[in-house]
Amino acid sequence: MLKSSGIAQKSDWEAKLPDVNRRKSGPYVVIECYQKIPCNPCEGACPNKAVTIGEDINTIPCVEYGRCNGCGICISRCPGLAIFVVDEGFCPGFGKILIPWEYLPLPTKGSVVAGVGRDGKELCPAEVVEVRIAKNQDRTAVIGLKVPLDFVNQVRGIKLGGEENGR
Amino acid sequence: MVETQLLVVGGGPAGLAAASAAASLGIEVLLADEGLKLGGQLVKQTHKFFGSREHHAGVRGIDIPNLLLENQDKVNIMSNTTIIGCYEDGVLTAVTGEDQYFKIKPQRVVFATGASEKFLSFPGNDLPGVYGAGAVQTLMNQYGVVPGKRVLMIGAGNIGIIVSYQLLQAGIHVAAVVEAAPNIGAYLVHASKLARAGVPILTRHTIVEAKGTDSVQSAVIAQLDEKWQVIPGTEKELEVDVVCLAVGLSPVLDLLSQIGCRRKYIPELGGDVPFRDKQLKTSIDWIYVAGDTAGVEEASAAMVEGRLAGAAAAAQLGADSTEAGKIIASCQASLDSLRRGPVGAKIRAGIAKLEGGCCKCLNHQA
Amino acid sequence: MSRISEHPILKFEDKPVINFTFEGRKLEGRQGDTIASALHANGIMVLSHSRRNKRPRGFFCAIGKCSSCLMTVNGKANVRTCVEPLVEGMEILRQPATGGELKW
Ligand SMILES: Cc1cc2nc3c(=O)[nH]c(=O)nc-3n(C[C@H](O)[C@H](O)[C@H](O)COP(=O)(O)OP(=O)(O)OC[C@H]3O[C@@H](n4cnc5c(N)ncnc54)[C@H](O)[C@@H]3O)c2cc1C
Ligand code: SF4
Ligand code: SF4
Ligand code: FES
């Protein structure tokens, strides 16, 4: 299914989550990179050396969750925009996710947008709680979204707003 | 007549790397590129590149040429200059702009002319609005012109998927991506990016027809069965004004064919490819190839191949052989490492066919 | 058709206008345009017609390789409009596919 549609299925992404204890103990990175490709920027991006690819550049990145503090620095470094950070303890009933964003408009902090799943379908409202667009992110913004706890590992994008060119 | 030790034809990642490697070994280098801006494919790529950090992965394609150009002060660069002929006496003909013709006599040549797009046959494929993926990129990313309102993308390889994403970034609607094969050819991380933007990627589908009087007004797509035949009744008409073809690349071999380099048909490498040895020398002693011209691959490999060919040509021209040898060995090792994984399997198979096949049967020149 | 007004990665500043004519119509392009990109930005996609069946022809490769975009510019036939820079005052005409007065 992933190979024929580009949409990761539950069994695919569940395998990328840390164990339940780690999930409850603070924000963690989720690297949705499922295929052996010659690529390794994520490895060099993490200041805490939590991501390893190693000698063979085709290896799938491996996360040592004990080293990951959920800072989100790696998100904008991945050319595949395949890295997310999930915080299940954000506030009661809600979690926070960090997603990469390279479209216009850039959502504004405080606005409520539609959170969409891996298939682009709307799932739930998501409040924009953070917008990072530092120079070293090189035009890949990182958006922080507050979403209902049930959706922290389902929402992976937001609905494109704004005018389309050429209309 | 312009004389030089080494002529590099093409200023994409492969050509830039070849020129810089040879220049660093003290060789006099002339680099000719037909574009106004150096960088080849890179100048249209707005996305962050895949590959290895050593080869600028993570940097946007548009920003890589500047990084590659940093050490180019020793290279004599001629842009807006097309090489149009290559002859047995070692003379190449060139034209700058539309009408300034001249000859070049180099001692060695590296061809790094890249690849050209394949075409697809279907009724209506000659209508305005049926564009190559490269043309859509050129129009939108270089000239800032909207190619159309709604696009149907043909091909779910890296190019089709990446150009679809670039279309979305430019605020243009992508109706669907159709792909005849059962699986997506692009890196899945790219495909997932598109999927979560709501663009359907329809594998086992093809375009049946583009319709319109003066330009594309709609396109008919349909599902394919196991034998790649259209399943009757599955036709669907999509309202689009652009059909973008991203159905593969094949090496640009016109000049190499003119001079009579041996070549072989190897589908894994994009079609007809020049025969070359482990140091990227072709069947003609003074001609080397690098990058997509030597077999369609990607930018990291193109840069490494460029360095390798540049160093090998320099060694032949009398540069310090230990220094050149070091570069050659390290490039060969990094090519092996880039091609080690499953996506490199196709390339490995292609190269094995090429290297194993240096026999009379592929000597087209006889 | 139109131009991209804003883009998350690229900057397209407002560039100076270049005036030209197409089949006698006065049109505007921008500095940095090729003839074909300026025509496209003005919604003109049909650049010529095929010789025998008079099918419309637009550009295809945009890099000067396929000959699909040949037009007559300032009286000169067979100019590859996808790579030829637009210049103030250019007179651009559609031409039969071969550009000449060939009789078949
Ligand atoms: C949409 C798209 C996305 C891509 N994404 C990635 C990616 O993420 N990561 C990655 O590693 N690779 C990527 N690639 C592939 C990568 O861009 C190419 O493999 C790489 O550019 C090949 O380099 P090259 O130097 O061989 O050829 P090119 O970059 O094609 O350069 C060839 C140059 O030669 C010039 N030339 C040709 N003929 C002549 C002549 N007769 N005289 C003078 N000059 C001539 C051309 O003008 C051009 O500048 C992508 C490609 C595309 C199309
Ligand atoms: S979120 Fe921060 S700590 Fe965790 S892997 Fe990414 S960069 Fe490293
Ligand atoms: S940088 Fe992104 S795409 Fe590349 S290996 Fe790491 S996670 Fe995968
Ligand atoms: S569009 Fe191909 S030569 Fe101009």
Read off the CATH number of the domain in which B192 is found. Answer: 3.50.50.60
The ipTM value here is 0.95
Ligand closest to B270 (CA) is 1
Q: Is A166 on the interface with C (CB under 8 A)?
A: yes
Q: Tell me, yes or no, whether C83 lies in a domain.
A: yes
Report whether pLDDT(B364) > 70.
no
* Pocket mutation for ligand 3, best pick of A16, A29, A30, A31 (most atoms within 8 Å of C-beta): A31
Dist. CA C40 → ligand 4 center (Å): 13
Least CB–CB distance from B173: residue in A2, A37, A164: A164
- Residues B43, B106 within the same domain: yes
- Residues B110, B202 within the same domain: no
Is residue A51 within 6 Å of ligand 2 at its C-beta?
yes
Q: The domain containing residue C39 runs over which residues? A: 17-93
The set of chains that have 3 or more CB pairs under 8 A with C is A, B
Report whether pLDDT(C52) > 90.
no
Helical pair B321-338 and B299-316, crossing angle rounded to 10 deg: 160
Pair B192, A34: CB distance under 8 Å? no
- The backbone region for A73, taken as left when phi is positive above 0, alpha when psi lies in -120 to 50, beta otherwise, is alpha
Q: Is B138 on the interface with C (CB under 8 A)?
A: yes
| Mean pLDDT along residues B155-173 | 96
The β-bridge relationship of strands C56-57 and C25-30 is: unpaired
Least confident range from B29-33, B324-328, B358-362, C46-50: namely: B358-362
Report whether pLDDT(B255) > 60.
yes
Report whether pLDDT(B279) > 80.
yes
Confidence at residue B54, expressed as pLDDT on a 0 to 100 scale: 81
Dist. CA C15 → ligand 4 center (Å): 24
Report whether pLDDT(C97) > 70.
no
Percent of chain B with pLDDT over 70: 97
- Residues B106, B47 within the same domain: yes
Dist. CA C14 → ligand 1 center (Å): 29
Which of B187, B220, B245 delimits the end of a domain? B245
Q: To probe the interface with C, which of B145, B247, B249, B253 has the most C CB atoms within 10 Å?
A: B145
pLDDT bin (cut points 50, 70, 90) of residue C99 is: low
Confidence at residue B69, expressed as pLDDT on a 0 to 100 scale: 80
Report the CATH number at residue C81: 3.10.20.440
Least confident range from A16-25, B203-212, B286-295, B354-363: namely: B354-363
Report whether pLDDT(C1) > 70.
no
Helix segments in A9-58, DSSP class H: 10-14, 20-24, 41-45
Cβ neighbours of A56 in B, within 8 Å: 337, 340-341
List, in sequence order, every residue forming a beta bridge with A116; answer none if it has no partner.
A122, A157
Confidence at residue C64, expressed as pLDDT on a 0 to 100 scale: 86
Q: What is the three-class DSSP state of B84?
A: strand
Confidence at residue C100, expressed as pLDDT on a 0 to 100 scale: 62
Q: The domain containing residue B41 runs over which residues? A: 2-116+249-365
Confidence at residue B360, expressed as pLDDT on a 0 to 100 scale: 42
pLDDT tens string A41-93: 999 999 999 999 998 999 999 999 999 999 999 999 999 999 999 999 999 99
Confidence at residue B72, expressed as pLDDT on a 0 to 100 scale: 74
Confidence at residue B36, expressed as pLDDT on a 0 to 100 scale: 84
Q: The domain containing residue A131 runs over which residues? A: 2-165
pLDDT bin (cut points 50, 70, 90) of residue B109 is: very high
- Residues B208, B152 within the same domain: yes
Q: How much is the mean pLDDT over chain B? A: 93
Nearest residue in A to C1, CA atom:
A166
Q: Is B183 on the interface with A (CB under 8 A)?
A: yes
Dist. CA A9 → ligand 2 center (Å): 24
Number of domains making up chain B: 2
Instruction: Read off φ and ψ for residue B289, nearest 5 degrees.
Output: -130, 155
Least confident range from A12-16, A161-165, B361-365, C52-56: namely: B361-365
| Mean pLDDT along residues A123-135 | 96
Report whether pLDDT(B326) > 70.
yes
Confidence at residue A161, expressed as pLDDT on a 0 to 100 scale: 57
- Cβ under 8 Å to A: C residues 2-41: 2, 4-9
Q: Tell me, yes or no, whether C12 lies in a domain.
A: no
Q: Is B63 on the interface with C (CB under 8 A)?
A: no
Which of B199, B226, B245 delimits the end of a domain? B245
pLDDT bin (cut points 50, 70, 90) of residue B50 is: confident
Number of domains making up chain C: 1
Q: How much is the mean pLDDT over chain A? A: 94
Spatial neighbors of C46 by CB under 8 A, at least 6 apart, are B128, B214, B215, C56, C57, C58, C94
Is residue B51 within 6 Å of ligand 1 at its C-beta?
yes
Report whether pLDDT(B321) > 80.
yes
Distance from CA of B329 to the nearest CA of C (A): 36
Pair B276, B294: CB distance under 8 Å? yes
Is residue B45 within 6 Å of ligand 1 at its C-beta?
yes
Report whether pLDDT(C14) > 50.
yes
Strands (E), B257-353: 263-266, 271-274, 287-289
Is residue C80 within 6 Å of ligand 4 at its C-beta?
yes
Pair B37, B9: CB distance under 8 Å? no
- Residues B182, B284 within the same domain: no
Which tokens go with B34?
């037909």
Cβ neighbours of A139 in C, within 8 Å: 8-9
Is residue A69 within 6 Å of ligand 2 at its C-beta?
yes
pLDDT tens string B181-196: 999 999 999 999 999 9
Least confident range from A149-163, B119-133, B162-176: namely: A149-163
Number of domains making up chain A: 1
Report whether pLDDT(B359) > 60.
no
Q: Which atom of ligand 4 is nearest to the CA of C69?
A: 4
